[in-house]
Chains A and B, each alone.
Chain A
């Protein structure tokens, strides 16, 4: 069983659809993250949850809505997206808010590749 699993791996949706991305971590970590990776751009942090409380919303449009029911599960609900939202969405977890502050190790899932038509 891999540490961080994401489903679906690929998603194609229209601009009026509602869909959700799911992430589950089996590492006993307390912090979970959503990142967006677009072509030729650096990873962009979207949301951070620490002990299932949202501690960061990096100016993300409201058409992206995160949900963290517990420390092991994280969802990203998608609604009325735009074509420019097409990207790889990566979930990550870490022991704490970057455990001890300086360890830097984020464990990523394989990502959900989203295409918005």
Chain B
């Protein structure tokens, strides 16, 4: 089983739609969780951290389910500019050694 698993997509959604991505992780000792965004042929950038109680940043909502070992990202009112690959990142130890990236989920928002 992969340490961090994501559906690669692509998810093709119309503008204004709501879309959700899930990411599962295999190590129950994982401590911290993040979503990064990577535009085509660009570098990854932190989108948001994922807190145990769930957190929201504008149109983006991240949630963590420790019991089922998954995190989710919900994007409401999708914009064309949201088109990118969304990388799930899991940190086991809190240090750099155990930061594991998923392969990413590609989102394409269509006019």
Contact = CB atoms under 8 A, between A and B. Distances in A.
A94 B96 contact: yes
A43 B96 contact: no
Interface in B83-100: 87, 89, 91, 93-97, 99-100
B31 interface: yes
B44 A43 contact: yes
Given A42-B4, A42-B102, A43-B101, A104 B32 contact: yes
Given A104-B32, A104-B49, A109-B43, A45 B99 contact: yes
Contact of B91 (A43, A98, A108, A111): A98
27 contacts: A31-B96, A40-B8, A41-B103, A42-B102, A42-B104, A43-B101, A45-B97, A55-B96, A56-B96, A56-B97, A97-B96, A98-B91, A98-B95, A98-B96, A101-B94, A102-B32, A102-B94, A103-B49, A104-B32, A104-B34, A104-B46, A104-B91, A104-B99, A105-B34, A106-B46, A106-B99, A108-B45
Interface of B: 4, 8, 31-34, 42-46, 49, 87, 89, 91, 93-97, 99-104
